[in-house]
Chains A and B, each alone.
Chain A
Amino acid sequence: MPAAPMTATQTHPDSLVVNAPADMLVLIPAYNESACIANVLRELWEVLPGCAVVVVDDCSADDTAHIAERAGAGVLRLPHHLGLGGGVQAGYKLAFELGYEYVIRIDGDGQHDPRDIMRIYQTLKETGVEMVIGSRFVPGSSGYRTTFLRGIVIQCFRWMLRPILGRPVRDPTSGFVGVNRAALGVFSRVFPLEYPEIEALVVLQRRAFRFREVPCSMRPRAAGESSITLWRSMGFVAHVLLGVFVNILKFDGRTRGGN
């Protein structure tokens, strides 16, 4: 049994005080998000006071790490830029070591509404599924208008993943994702480095893990630019297709034990 996570009554730089579940960690991968990160944290703690938060600073060139630290978040500083997958995996490893049962990942650009976090947490806890995706496209979600090109890309991924996962997934590229400890154990060891969301679904499917989608609202970026630009879209599709194919080849037995 791993060390228990800090409880609300313990004084700890990560968990300021109460109300948020003590077994949940919010993970925020951030790269050059100095314009947004303070607001993201402030809004998060307004909704979930005392929530344990770790910002994974992927060696930002700006003040992201200092701002997050001054705001009161735990900051995991990567010594050099690893990309989204490497950063998220570092956060998962830390959360696993700290003994958290549930980790919810949100973006550092303010696009995800922290009020949706508890919906993901409760779904994880009540259903026992290993992963819950905050989906922009299931009934009940609101406020997200995708671009034409991105819409096509997402639709292609839906078609591609349908036979692999054995069930439809509406929002395979969502970065608003919650995982339980079983998935955390897997992702601590195996996690895609580039564009991890889609490949992560395949990694879990190969272990017979389950996922569920819950509605979430998505807002425009508060500042900065998306890392996925028009020019990267083609490379994105090719990379993900190859990654999914490789993960299928890696088939090593369907067990729900995490190994």
Chain B
Amino acid sequence: MPPIQVFLAAITLVLICAVLVQVRRAHIRVEYSVSWLVAGVLLLLVALCPGLLPYLADTLGLDDRPLTLLLLVGCIFLFVLFRLSIVVSSLKDNNIALAQRLAILEYHLNRNRRYEENR
């Protein structure tokens, strides 16, 4: 196995283990670990199947295998980042709505308190 694929296998194993450990410690929610685990498994497949990387390089018309690998990693993490952007945007919207609701409820509470005091 070429050194670059050994390196890739090691890195992806570390990634998968790290994600699983963080899920176990509840630092990453299960639903958000899926993207990382899928990315890790795909890269592990590329690393462990000796013929897969040359096949992909030929299919894409690239002579350079490291470049093919880089392109593959880039594409996979592009999708992971895209999914995380959707999650972050949704969280931000929820956070804004919650902050506004909290402020409005606090306003009503303070208003009622002052109203009672002035009665």
Contacts and interface: CB of A to CB of B under 8 A. Distances in A.
A93 B111 contact: no
B118 A78 contact: no
Nearest to B96: A86
- Binding site of A, secondary structure by majority: helix, strand, loop or mixed? mixed
B111 A14 contact: yes
Contacts of B118: 11, 13
Contacts of A13: 111, 114-115, 118
A76 B110 CA distance: 10
Contact of B107 (A11, A80, A94, A193): A94
Contacts of B100: 78, 82, 86, 89-90, 93
Contacts of A86: 96, 99-100
Nearest to B107: A76
Interface residues of B, number: 12
Nearest to A86: B96
- Binding site of B, secondary structure by majority: helix, strand, loop or mixed? helix
B114 A82 contact: no
B104 interface: yes
A78 B105 CA distance: 11
B85 to A, nearest CB: 14
A15 B98 CA distance: 27
Contact of A94 (B99, B102, B104, B114): B104
A79 B102 contact: yes
B114 A93 contact: no
B99 A74 contact: no
A58 to B, nearest CB: 10
B114 A90 contact: no
Interface string A72-102: 0011111110100010011001100100000
Point out which of A12, A13, A93 has the most chain B C-beta atoms below 10 A from its C-beta. Answer: A13
5 contacts: A74-B107, A74-B111, A76-B103, A77-B106, A89-B100
